Amino acid sequence: MVEFVKWPKIPRGNPLEITITEKINGTTSCVIVENGEVVGCQSRNRLITTENDNFGFAAWVEENKEQLALLGDGHHFGEWAGPGIQKNPINLDKKEFYLFNTHMWNEETTPSCCSVVPVLYEGIYTEQIVKDVMSDLMELSVSTYIPEGIVVYFRLFSKYVKFTFDTPEGKWKGV
């Protein structure tokens, strides 16, 4: 039998609306909340527990379960950064969890145990804006820490693109 497949609605809006955030140099992590309770956590590639932890993230999640449950149901991705992780190039005094979704989280709505990746620009995408934000980030941080780069989020497409200082073509290019 032939099945009818409807053409999807085409969204209106400017496809070039973006949010640029600082790319925090740490390890990608995630808190998993179901039915209002923290049920697990993961690194970029695997589920983790306090027995097979990833730089202490699972232990931190266990210690902060009540606060993290306030994130609500879902998978909440972010960057776990600080001492002992990626040589701590941003010079944090302690490990911190930076949530990625800046449209959902901000300093007022985020549980006190979490941070949000810093927003550096919101507006219309141009190549020059990316260059300017990268330049400003390097200039502002040069005396206090070593930035990794930026992440550009294209709102309409829900897609991320990263730009890094050390490996602008990708760390595996030419390998």
Judgement on whether residues 152 and 162 belong to the same structural domain of the protein? yes
Number of separate domains in the chain: 2
In contact, 104 and 117? CB cutoff 8 Å:
no
Q: Is the pLDDT of residue 12 over 90?
A: no
| Last residue of one domain, picked from the residues 95, 116, 137 | 116
pLDDT at 170: 56
Judgement on whether residues 93 and 151 belong to the same structural domain of the protein? no
pLDDT at 97: 98
Q: What domain range is 71 assigned to?
A: 25-116
Judgement on whether residues 49 and 65 belong to the same structural domain of the protein? yes
Q: Report how far residue 40's alpha carbon sits from residue 62's, in angstroms, rounded to the nearest whole number.
A: 9
The total of other beta-carbon atoms located within 10 Å of residue 161's CB is: 13
Judgement on whether residues 77 and 153 belong to the same structural domain of the protein? no
pLDDT at 166: 83
Structure tokens at 131: 């260059």
Tens digit of each residue's pLDDT (9 = 90 or more) over 154-165: 998 889 999 998
Tens digit of each residue's pLDDT (9 = 90 or more) over 33-52: 999 999 999 999 999 999 99
Q: Is the pLDDT of residue 172 over 80?
A: no
Locus of tokens 């206090």: 144
In contact, 76 and 82? CB cutoff 8 Å:
no
pLDDT at 80: 98
Judgement on whether residues 168 and 85 belong to the same structural domain of the protein? no
Q: Report how far residue 39's alpha carbon sits from residue 73's, in angstroms, rounded to the nearest whole number.
A: 10
Judgement on whether residues 14 and 40 belong to the same structural domain of the protein? no
Q: Is the pLDDT of residue 174 over 50?
A: no
Judgement on whether residues 130 and 152 belong to the same structural domain of the protein? yes
Q: What is the CATH number for 38?
A: 3.30.470.30
Q: Is 145 exposed, middle or buried (0-12, 13-18, 19+ CB in 10 A)?
A: middle
Question: C-alpha distances in angstroms, 4 versus 1, 7, 8, 9?
Answer: 10, 10, 12, 15
Judgement on whether residues 111 and 123 belong to the same structural domain of the protein? no
Q: Report how far residue 74's alpha carbon sits from residue 33's, in angstroms, rounded to the nearest whole number.
A: 5
